[in-house]
Structures are given as C-alpha cells and as structure tokens.
Amino acid sequence: MTDWTTIRIGWISRRNRVFANPRFQHWAARLPIIRWIARSRADAAFDLLAGFAYSQVLRAYVESGLFDILKDGPIGAAEVARRMGMSEAAGLTLLRAGRALMLSEEAGPDLWMLGEQGAVFAANAGVQAMVRHHRLLYADLADPLALLKADRREPTGLSRFWTYAGALQGTTERGEDTAEYSELMAASQHFVADEVLASVPFRDVRRLLDVGGGHGAFLKAIGAAWPHLELGLFDLPEVAAQGGAVLAESFGAARVSAHPGNFFEDAVPQGYDMVSLIRILHDHDDAPAQSLLANIRASLAPGARLLIAEPMARIHGAEPMGEAFFGLYLWAMGSGRARSPEEIIAMLRAAGFASARLVATAQPVNASVIIAQA
C-alpha cells in the first residue's frame, strides 16, 4: 500500500466519521457559510432514497399517454383523469407528483400544462421508448441482492429481451419482442450519433464501416451529415440485409455495402479507413470484447482508425450513468460492463493499436468517444 493510499484512507475515514455525526449535521445545516452545501447533500441523499418513485412517476406519464394529453393544455384535472381512465383524485395525485419533477405545471387554478422537463420528454420518442423498456430492468431489480448473487447465466427479463445476450449465454431463447428491440434502437440511437457528429469530423474519412450496425440508424445519421462517405454495415446476415436495405433506400445502393457475418467468428471486412463500434463494447465481457478489438485491428491498414462511442464509467459529471445505471443494467442483461476510458485504451493497446485518445463530448451521459489509430 502506497503512502498516498494510506493518507487517502485516513482522510476518507475521518471525513465519514464527521459527516455521520448528528451534531455536525445540525451545525452544518445552520451555519450560513456552508448551509447550501449541507442542503445540497441532504437533497442528494433524499434523491437516492426516493429515486425509484421518481422513475415510476415518469413511467406512469409515458405509459398513460399523459404527455400527449398535456400537449392539449391547459386542461383540468377531471378531464385529464377521464382520458387516463382513473378517478379525479388519482389523476390529480399523478399531476402533482409530476409537478414536483417539472413534468407537469399548473398554469392557473386547475389549469394543467407540460412542465419544462415534460416538454422535453413529450417531444422525444426515443426517451419515451427507453422509459417503456426499463420496465424489464425494474422487474429484474425488484430484489437486487438476489440478482447479484445469482449466476449471470440464469435468464432475466433483460437477457430474454436482448436476443444476442441470450446467444452469448449459450441459450436458445430469443428476445421477447424483436419489434420493440427495433423501435428502441432506432429511436434511441440518435443520442449517440448526435454526440459523435458534434465531436468527430469526418471530412478526411472516405469509407466508414459500422460493426454491429444493426438496422443502420447510426450510419443513416452520419451519412446524412457527411454525403461524401461510403457506408458499410457489418452484422448478422438477417440484420445486415435489413440494415443495408434501409441505407440503400436513403442514400442509393452505390453508396452502401452490407456485409453479413459474426464479428466474433468472421473476419471484419477490409478496405475501410474508419470502423465504428457504437454501444457494442460495453455489451460484452472482457474476453470477447478484447477478441473483438483484435479482430477489428487485424482488418485495418496502418493509419486507419477505430471509433468507439458508448456510455463509459468514471466520466466526470456522468459517473452515476456509467456505473450505477449501466453497471446494474448490464449485470441484469447477463453480459458486459461499463468500462472507464483508461480501461478501454489499455484494451486497445493490447489489441495492437498504435494510439488511442478520449474525445470530449457535450453530453457524456449519452456517450463518450474514443478514437484509436492502427
């Protein structure tokens, strides 16, 4: 143990004893200079306690269609309740709960409209699709300790949903609803694409291959923003065929190449000066993820680049998303984990890449970006 580690352990222990002391809490809450710090910490502690209730209020707004109802506002609570098929008292309870979370707002006596956050959610089909999808995660987390103690190969709601997660565990079960999968991916992929477009220039890229590109949502966004790009999609045969057709319809067949294959078992198509992995690496455990990076490196000519975009762990300002949310989400899925940029860069070096760097993004809660060069 280094001297610095010993000092840090001592500091954390002392800090925790002080913060846990009721006399200190009482004093801090009343001292004008640090009152705002104490209140901020108390608010954050309550958010941890009540967070599940907050998420369920949001879920109720989405699944009841309340956002769409409030778009027609101002509207009275009785009419809101009638449209949702519940009593006026129940409808008012939900409206007030959402008001506290800025999902709804009372513009006047019994005149309800969308709140600031509500306006954002109402306009974003991708976020609403994610909220509906999270019912599976909530069910799996009903007993978090049982989930963590169970063998990760045991099926969960999420592992059944994600078809490829089931395949990795050696099962023959397919996802519960492939239509929901397609809707979720198509609706949410633009979050990552927006971060990539805002942080990575493609002017010097001629041919871009998206590995595990699904139905082409990411390539469609990048291709529309950079019309000179030739686009390649590499995925399982039935997925690549569908994704290639979608892209060809948007950009013309001459600009699009669909490559069927398994990125663990088959060689990655060559001839591309940039390859992208969009929300793929964190879905896989360390050994297969390392194998995938090595497979991609073998396909790249010197100087070609790999772009990795996904939520990452230990990113300043987005720590809860990386390790609290995705840590448990991927555990419940039965495959993968969120990794820090340092971990991913070390894996890239082990795979034979000459260099790798983190690229800053405006909203790392949606995705962080790493670019590696062969």
Q: What pLDDT is recorded for position 21?
A: 76
The torsion region of residue 185 among left (phi > 0), alpha (psi -120 to 50) and beta comes to: alpha
Choosing among 3.60.10.10, 3.10.20.30, 3.40.50.20, 3.40.50.150, the CATH entry for 157-373 is: 3.40.50.150
Consecutive 10-residue runs of the chain (374 residues): their mean pLDDT?
80 75 67 66 84 97 97 94 97 98 95 96 88 93 96 90 50 47 70 95 98 93 98 94 95 98 96 97 96 98 98 93 94 95 98 97 94 98
Q: What pLDDT is recorded for position 174?
A: 43
What is the value of pTM for the model shown? 0.86
Lookup: tokens for 325: 């949310």
Q: CATH topology of 31-122 equal to that of 157-373?
A: no
Tell me the CA distances in angstroms from 231 to 131, 189, 211, 218, 290, one per residue in order: 31, 17, 11, 11, 25
Determine the topology of domain 31-122 in CATH: Arc Repressor Mutant, subunit A (1.10.10)
Query: Nearest-5° angle of CA 222, CA 223, CA 224?
Result: 90
Q: What pLDDT is recorded for position 167?
A: 44
- The domain ranges of the chain are 31-122, 157-373
Q: What pLDDT is recorded for position 36?
A: 67
Q: What pLDDT is recorded for position 34?
A: 63
